[in-house]
Amino acid sequence: MQEKSMVVSRRTVLNWIGVTAGAAAMYQAMTALSFAAESNHDRNFALSGAPKGTRVLILGAGLAGMTAAYELRKAGYQVKVLEFNARPGGRCWTLRGGDRFTELGGATQHCEFDKGLYLNPGPWRIPYHHHAVLDYCHKFGVALEPFVQVNYNAMVHSTKAFGGKPQRYREVQADFQGHVAELLSKAVNQHGLDQALTQEDRERLLEVMRKWGALDAGNSYKKSLETSLRRGFAIDDGGGLMPEAVPSEPMDCKALLDSNLWQSIASGQEYEYQSSIFQPVGGMDMIAQAFQKQVNDLIHYNAKVTRIQQNDTGVTVTYQNSDGSGGLQQEQAHWCVCTLPLSILGQLPIDVSAPMMSAIRAVPYESSVKIGLQFKRRFWEQDEHIYGGISYTDTPISKISYPSTDYGKQGKGVLLGAYIWGPNAYEFTAMSPKMRVQKAVEYGAQIHPQYPSEFENGIAVGWHRVPWTNGCYGLWTPETRQQHYKNLCQIDGRIVLAGEHASYIPAWMEGAILSSQDAIKRLHTHIIASAKAA
């Protein structure tokens, strides 16, 4: 019976292989949507020789704005930055105990985390190939530590499989690989691949499958020392007169395929999540603070831009205090680098050409929610031996990520209790902050039963409620890229735009910095040429 159910068509097998090859397929799709493009960073980036007395006004003190401020001042420009918030960094942002966050609509959350604990509501990891971010980190002395993306001992959870009981990533990964290897071996032995492969290839493939999938000599994936060396033991080896190791029982192939849990195990294979991947020690805003040390004297905080005008000789930007107090003020410069999110910029009166205006208005902003939860103790380490990494669930919270730092520390701990996209992100955004946290605890308890008794407090950021971005990031499509992207990136009179929205690496800090470097390089070249012509 078991044997009969294993008789599968070649097409079915190849279909399954296609599923395991999800990372590659996903990568192609992501590239088409311009997600996974590699950073194109010039390590020796530097501008010099600004025409004397040339003033550049930068709008926004996020990473794009501060990159522009740092590099343009070094090049000899007179630089000033207007920033809506009372702090630099924009979405490069960390919430710690004592911080207060008021979202659109007026709800205010007071972060009650213990000292040293934090949530990065925005970017939280740096791939090793995001060279521009890493180079500024190295240059400014930002300490980095490994971010654990894949944890084989974390959980994968489906409410519809295995009675809703979370499974270990390790077991799902090993069993899926083993079962697929066994199926492929069967397909070979049943002559399913005779047309595609020579006899020699088939033998080699069988040998590879035995090694790759931990199969036995008969090409079967079953309970054994070998499979337990992948999926873990029922009882681990010990010393002295401790019990001997006992192998563990693999999951049933059909039950595993039906569970869909294997869908979660490919994400760590994606280019952006492959080891090594980093985080700043102490919170993502360590990067913002490092930039701030370089350019703080240039930044005018609490300035809400209300109008951007330009003519043949310069740029005039009107602004007011972010809290609405005081009257309108103006700042003038010869040139302007505008890094405001398009969701904000698209609402302002701005003198730019029709094509650029269309581009500014063509990019909707994505919804996303992150929730940080503080617990009385690091039970995920103490009870479940999960040190960093991510658990996946089909409940609305989507992911739980454990801190990649301070392992084994006594006392309280903060984990990322939800990282939500899609319809559930809108639904969480529409809740009160308190309800968001409550729901995150409810859903998380399905994976960790310790939640209700260990939970202390939480903070929830729905990006559509963030007052300075109205959303998470600029959501391009292949069609809108085709129609508008180049228009968005042009120097329009005396204005050039920069930010993650003006990059092919949307939502990532690398996109913001590379966009800024490219914009100011072109602007600088243009300014030099204009000065010579005049």
- Please report how close the Cβ of residue 305 comes to other proteins at its closest, in angstroms: 8
Write out the binding residues for other proteins, residues 52-91 only, by CB under 8 A. 84
Binding of other proteins at residue 26 (CB under 8 A)? no
Smallest gap from Cβ 476 to other proteins, in A, equals 12
The reply to whether 372 sits near other proteins by the rule CB under 8 A is no
Dihedral of the alpha carbons of 292, 298, 303, 306, in degrees to the nearest 10: -120
Question: Is 176 near other proteins (CB under 8 A)?
Answer: no
Which range, of 133-141, 188-196, 226-234, 334-342, touches other proteins by CB under 8 A? 334-342
With CA atoms as reference, report the closest residue to 387 among 44, 75, 76, 146.
Answer: 146
Give the whole-angstrom CA distance, residue 449 versus residue 523.
56
Stretch that binds other proteins, among 64-72, 284-292, 335-343, 492-500 (CB under 8 A): 335-343
Binders of other proteins in range 294-313 (CB under 8 A): 304-305
Give the residue with the Cβ less far from other proteins, 7 or 430.
Answer: 430
* Segment contacting other proteins by CB under 8 A, of 1-9, 170-178, 253-261, 460-468: 460-468
Q: Tokens 């300014």 map to which residue?
A: 527
**Using rule CB under 8 A, residue 438 touches other proteins:** yes
Backbone angles phi, psi at 396, to 5 degrees: -60, -20
What is the C-alpha separation between 494 and 491, in angstroms, rounded? 7
- The residue range among 113-121, 212-220, 273-281, 431-439 that interacts with other proteins, by the rule CB under 8 A, is 431-439
Closest separation in Å from C-beta 523 to other proteins: 24
Exposure string (b/e) for 505-526, b if CB count within 10 Å is 16 or more?
A: bbbbbbbbbbbbbbbbbebbee
Name the segment binding other proteins (CB under 8 A); options: 8-16, 61-69, 243-251, 423-431.
Answer: 423-431
Query: Judged by CB under 8 A, which stretch of 29-37, 48-56, 183-191, 341-349 contacts other proteins?
Result: 341-349
3-state secondary structure of 29: helix
Cα gap 116→114, rounded to integer Å:
6
Pick the binder of other proteins from 318, 322, 329, 332 (CB under 8 A). 322
Beta carbon of residue 459, minimum distance to other proteins (angstroms, whole number):
17
Q: Which range touches other proteins (CB under 8 A), out of 125-133, 208-216, 307-315, 469-477? A: 469-477
Tokens of 405: 């730092």
- Residue from 330, 347, 382, 453 that binds other proteins (CB under 8 A)? 347
Q: Is 429 in the site for other proteins (CB under 8 A)?
A: yes
Quote the CA–CA distance of 177 and 227 in Å, as a whole number. Answer: 11
Please identify which residue in 88, 444, 462, 511 interacts with other proteins, judged by CB under 8 A: 462
Asked if 268 interacts with other proteins (CB under 8 A), we say no
Which CB atom, from 47 or from 356, has the smaller least distance to other proteins? 356
When binding is defined by CB under 8 A, the residue of 34, 316, 470, 483 that contacts other proteins is 470
Instruction: Give the 3-state secondary structure of residue 18.
Output: helix
**387 near other proteins, judged by CB under 8 A:** no
When asked if residue 349 is in the footprint of other proteins (CB under 8 A), the reply is no
Among 24, 29, 104, 208, indicate the residue that binds other proteins (CB under 8 A): 104
432 is a site residue for other proteins (CB under 8 A): yes
Determine which residue in the list 18, 422, 449, 478 makes contact with other proteins, applying CB under 8 A: 422
Q: Write out the DSSP string of 135-160.
A: HHHHHHT--EEE-----TTSEEE-TT
Phi and psi at 321, nearest 5°, equal -60, 140
Only one of the segments 64-72, 193-201, 404-412, 459-467 lies at the binding site for other proteins (rule: CB under 8 A); that segment is: 459-467
Helices (H), 346-497: 354-360, 379-382, 423-429, 433-444, 451-454, 478-480, 486-489
Dump the DSSP string for 224-256.
Answer: SHHHHHHH-EEE---STTSPPPEEPPPPPHHHH
CB 426 to other proteins: min, Å: 5
Phi-psi region of 282 (alpha: psi -120 to 50; beta: other; left: phi over 0): left
**HSE of 46, CA atoms in CB hemisphere, 13 A:** 6
Cβ distance 27 to 270 under 8 Å?
A: yes
Residue type, 491: I
Mark the segment that binds other proteins (CB under 8 A) among 108-116, 260-268, 416-424, 491-499.
416-424
Q: How far is the CB of 439 from other proteins (least distance, A)?
A: 7
Among 27, 169, 380, 468, binds other proteins (CB under 8 A): 468
Cα separation, 116 vs 121, whole angstroms: 16
Q: How far apart are the first and last CA of the chain?
A: 86
Per rule CB under 8 A, is residue 451 in the interface with other proteins?
no
Distance CA 397, CA 442 (A): 10
- By the criterion CB under 8 A, which residues form the site for other proteins? 84, 104-106, 304-305, 322, 340-344, 346-348, 361, 363-367, 396, 422-424, 426-427, 429-432, 435, 438-439, 462, 464-471, 475
